[in-house]
Chains A and B, each alone.
Chain A
Amino acid sequence: MIKVKNLRYKYQKSKDYAINGIDFQINEGEIFGFLGPSGAGKSTTQKVLIKLLRGFEGEIEYQGKPLNSYDDQFYQDIGVSFEMPISFSKLTALENLEFFKRLYKKTVDLEPLLKRVGLWDDRHKKAGEYSKGMKIRLNFIRALLNDPMFLFLDEPTNGVDPANSRIMKDMILEFKQKGGTVFLTSHIMGDIDELCDRVAFIAEGKLREEGAPRDLKIKYGRRTVTVEYRENGELHSQTFTMEEIKLPSFFKLLQEKEIETLHSGETTLEEIFIKVTGVKLRA
Chain B
Amino acid sequence: MPNLRVLIQGEFIRLNKYNLFAANFVVLLFWVFLAWFLEGEVLRQFIPVIFLMDSVMMTILLVGATLFYEKKEHTINSVMVTPVTENEYLLSKILVNALNSLITVAFISLAVYLIKGVTYNYWLLVPAVLIVTVVHTLIGIRLSYSAKDFTSLLINYMIYVFVFVLPPVFAQFGLIDASVARFFILLPPEASSILIGTGFVEVELWKILFGYSYLALLSMVLFRFSVKPKFNEYMMKEMGV
> Chain A: residues with CB nearer than 8 A to chain B?
11-13, 43-44, 47, 50, 52-53, 71-76, 78, 80, 82, 84, 86-91, 95, 99-100, 102-104, 142
Contacts and interface: CB of A to CB of B under 8 A. Distances in A.
B5 to A, nearest CB: 9
Contact of A52 (B13, B73, B80): B80
B14 A76 contact: no
Contact of B83 (A13, A43, A73, A86): A73
Given A100-B78, A103-B82, 9 more contacts: A11-B241, A43-B240, A47-B239, A52-B77, A80-B78, A88-B73, A89-B73, A90-B18, A103-B6
Q: Which of A13, A44, A50, A89 has the most CB of B within 10 A?
A: A89
A72 B240 contact: no
A8 to B, nearest CB: 16
A91 B14 contact: yes
A157 to B, nearest CB: 19
Given A12-B241, A86-B75, A72 B10 contact: no
A134 to B, nearest CB: 15
A140 B35 CA distance: 52
B57 to A, nearest CB: 24
24 contacts: A11-B241, A12-B241, A44-B240, A50-B81, A52-B77, A52-B239, A71-B85, A75-B81, A75-B82, A76-B83, A80-B78, A84-B74, A86-B73, A87-B73, A87-B75, A87-B78, A88-B73, A90-B14, A91-B13, A95-B13, A95-B17, A100-B78, A100-B82, A102-B6
A247 to B, nearest CB: 56
A99 B241 contact: no
B78 A52 contact: no
Given A13-B241, A88-B73, A103 B3 contact: yes
Interface string B38-80: 0000000000000000000000000000000100011101101
Nearest to A53: B239
A90 B20 CA distance: 12
Nearest to B70: A88
Interface of B: 3, 6, 10, 13-14, 17-18, 69, 73-75, 77-78, 80-85, 235-236, 239-241
A78 B82 CA distance: 9
A133 B12 CA distance: 29
Contacts of A91: 13-14, 17
B74 to A, nearest CB: 5
Contact of A12 (B75, B77, B235, B236): B236
B78 A142 contact: yes
B24 to A, nearest CB: 16
* Closest CB pairs A-B (n = 8): A80-B81, A90-B17, A103-B82, A102-B6, A99-B10, A75-B83, A11-B241, A72-B83
Contacts of A50: 81
A11 B236 CA distance: 9
Given A12-B236, A43-B240, A52-B239, A104 B73 contact: no
A53 B236 contact: yes
Nearest to B10: A99
Contacts of A87: 73, 75, 78
Q: Which of A44, A47, A72, A74 has the most CB of B within 10 A?
A: A72
Nearest to B7: A103
Q: Which of B6, B73, B81 has the most CB of A within 10 A?
A: B81
A3 B78 CA distance: 25
A71 B17 CA distance: 32
A78 B81 contact: yes
B240 A47 contact: yes
A181 to B, nearest CB: 16
